[in-house]
Amino acid sequence: MNLKKVTTPLMMLSLCMFTIITYGQIQPVSNIPDQPGQGLDGRYWKYTKGPMVKIAGDVIATINERPADANFTAKTLSYARNDISLLVDWLGEDGKSIVFSNKPKSPDVDGSVFSFTGFIAIEKAGEVKFRGVSDDACIVWIGDQKVINNDGHGGVPGKNPDGKMTFKSAGLYPIEIVYYNGSWRDYLNRYGEGVFKFEMNGAPIKTEVLYSANTIDKTLIFPSAAEKIPSEKGEGLVGRLWKRSGQPLSGLAGEGEHIIRTNPSHGLFMATKLNYAGNELTPMVDWLKEDSASLEMYYETEIANIDECLFSFNGFISIPEKGEVDFYISSDDGTILTIGGQKVIVNDGYRAAPGPSPSGKAVFMKAGLYPIEILYYNGAYKDEEAGTRGEGIMKFSINGKDVNPEILYPTTVTN
């Protein structure tokens, strides 16, 4: 099977030639809530690919393609210590909220990536000035506009720390900040600084104007995740499968997702329809339908049916226009849909279709090609009294219609 990598490069973020970036008007997503904000959603990754000089490229790929090593609430957006400071110390008061999902061997800020996402409250119409002081690099988007492009390796305040935007009305606006702290030492073996400070109208940002992305009942897909849509049509996603034994799992969360993330798969195929149905004893080749023609098995694993199987579907999805998109996955048993690093549907569990939470709405800040991943688990169930087996169902639809494989692009995934 020839699984070719999508040919579009990651969206390149060009350096601004001016000190201050100015953008025109954008629309709020809602009115400002009555309750004050509690901070943005913070995520942290330990960067493992070597020295970097810009956010553009591998840093953004890290955010979009790898689950964060830690999550926290970013209330202050004002952090300053040296490169080898532990994350918990560098974050100050915000460090109390850290939850590690994959704790690095050295959880410091030397060679690290940060994402801050959610909403910012703009209290009145007009021009607002922003400033992102950083060592090393930061980029700030509001809506689909890049307000600050302070990219590049260097000391504070950076080459282009300032930006401003004109807001047509008061309201709640999506905000995304990406910050990268590189690794640097001088000839005396002294470490560089790790600094990020965000200001609005010349003053430190206030926590009460910062809101988590879950303030609204839709998932925000932020502009850093977008790549250019290819001219050629897509052909589907890369499908992988794992056969397991033992007692059924309670769902994907925990052991199921851990198996997918850490174990070589038993098979690889091209997923074109993302619409599969049968019972647990349905032969794998029948369950996959025409997609079974591309199935390659590894390690001589015998997989007669879909009983106790895990699946992942990876690649990119083309979103031709910015705006809201409705996603739906009916499944028996659990499914999780992630787009652009954000979970859109968590329809997990060991249960019948369609599941407790099959629907998800996503708001895309801009048109583009976005990383997509679907995880699916089919457990083993037998009704001893009736002598029947459970169903094995995974049906994915967009805006109420079956998915056209031409909007899906495979990415290179090893087994």
Asked if residue 224 belongs to a domain, the reply is no
Closest CA to 47 of 149, 146, 115, 132: 115
- At 50 the pLDDT is 66
Residue 103 has pLDDT above 80, yes or no: yes
Asked if residue 14 belongs to a domain, the reply is no
Do residues 190 and 264 share a domain? no
* Confidence bin at 132 (pLDDT 50/70/90): very high
Q: Which two tokens stand for residue 71?
A: 């999550």
Alpha helices in 232-275 (DSSP H): 257-262
Q: Identify the weakest region by mean pLDDT among 319-328, 369-378, 381-390.
A: 381-390
Task: Say how many residues make up the chain.
Answer: 415
Closest CA to 397 of 348, 324, 330, 334: 330
Q: What are the phi and psi torsion angles at 334 (to 5°)?
A: -85, 150
- At 301 the pLDDT is 61
Do residues 210 and 333 share a domain? no
Domain count, the chain: 2
Asked if residue 5 belongs to a domain, the reply is no
Give me the mean pLDDT over the 242-264 stretch: 89
Q: Which residues contact 90 (CB under 8 A, 6 or more apart)?
A: 79, 81, 108, 109, 194
Query: In the chain, pLDDT over 90 holds for what percent of residues?
Result: 62
Q: 26 or 311: which carries more pLDDT confidence? A: 311
Residue 11 has pLDDT above 80, yes or no: no
The H or E element that residue 401 is part of is: strand 401-402
Asked if residue 369 belongs to a domain, the reply is yes
What does the mean pLDDT of the chain come to?
87
Report whether 137 contacts 55 (CB < 8 A): yes
pLDDT of 52-66, one tens digit each? 667 877 788 888 878
How crowded is the C-beta side of 360, counted as CA atoms within 13 Å? 27
Amino acid at residue number 169: S
Asked if residue 371 belongs to a domain, the reply is yes
The H or E element that residue 374 is part of is: strand 368-378
Residue 240 has pLDDT above 90, yes or no: yes
Per-residue CA distances from 287 to 43, 88, 147, 269, 272 (Å): 38, 48, 48, 13, 13
Query: In the chain, pLDDT over 70 holds for what percent of residues?
Result: 87
**Burial class of residue 29 (count of CB atoms within 10 Å of its CB; 0-12, 13-18, 19+):** middle
Cα 179 to chain centroid, rounded:
16
Quote the domain boundaries for residue 25: 20-216
Give me the mean pLDDT over the 25-44 stretch: 91
Query: How many other CB atoms are found less than 10 A from the CB of residue 353?
Result: 19
Report whether 102 contacts 48 (CB < 8 A): no
Last residue of a domain, one of 183, 216, 249: 216
Q: Which two tokens stand for residue 43?
A: 């995520």
* Angstrom distance (rounded) from CA 112 to CA 92: 16
Residue 237 has pLDDT above 90, yes or no: yes
* Angstrom distance (rounded) from CA 59 to CA 383: 49
* Confidence bin at 385 (pLDDT 50/70/90): low
Taking phi over 0 as left and psi of -120 to 50 as alpha, with beta for the rest, 87 belongs to alpha
Do residues 184 and 297 share a domain? no
Do residues 186 and 294 share a domain? no
* Angstrom distance (rounded) from CA 39 to CA 78: 12
Do residues 147 and 252 share a domain? no
Do residues 203 and 271 share a domain? no
Specify the 3-state DSSP secondary structure of 65: helix
* Confidence bin at 150 (pLDDT 50/70/90): very high
pLDDT of 283-335, one tens digit each? 999 999 999 999 998 865 667 788 889 999 999 999 999 999 999 999 988 99
pLDDT of 68-100, one tens digit each? 999 999 999 999 998 889 999 999 999 999 999
Report whether 80 contacts 195 (CB < 8 A): yes
Residue 234 has pLDDT above 90, yes or no: yes
Do residues 68 and 114 share a domain? yes
The H or E element that residue 347 is part of is: strand 342-347
Give me the mean pLDDT over the 39-59 stretch: 82
Give me the mean pLDDT over the 120-126 stretch: 95
Q: Identify the weakest region by mean pLDDT among 186-195, 346-355, 365-374.
A: 186-195
- At 58 the pLDDT is 77
Per-residue CA distances from 259 to 264, 266, 296, 340 (Å): 9, 12, 19, 22
Q: Which residues contact 183 (CB under 8 A, 6 or more apart)?
A: 51, 83, 110, 111, 192
Specify the 3-state DSSP secondary structure of 289: helix
Do residues 164 and 201 share a domain? yes
Do residues 87 and 197 share a domain? yes
* Angstrom distance (rounded) from CA 354 to CA 29: 30
Cα 206 to chain centroid, rounded:
26
Last residue of a domain, one of 155, 183, 216: 216
Per-residue CA distances from 32 to 29, 119, 169, 185, 323 (Å): 9, 10, 11, 44, 20
Do residues 47 and 191 share a domain? yes
Amino acid at residue number 287: W
Do residues 102 and 193 share a domain? yes
pLDDT of 293-304, one tens digit each? 999 988 656 677
Taking phi over 0 as left and psi of -120 to 50 as alpha, with beta for the rest, 270 belongs to beta
- At 5 the pLDDT is 41
Residue 387 has pLDDT above 80, yes or no: no
Give me the mean pLDDT over the 358-362 stretch: 95
CATH number, position 403:
2.60.120.1560
Asked if residue 229 belongs to a domain, the reply is no
Asked if residue 388 belongs to a domain, the reply is yes
Give me the residue label for tokens 């002598």: 387
Residue 152 has pLDDT above 80, yes or no: yes
Question: Among positive and negative, which fits the CA dihedral 38, 39, 40, 45?
Answer: negative
Do residues 124 and 28 share a domain? yes
Asked if residue 183 belongs to a domain, the reply is yes
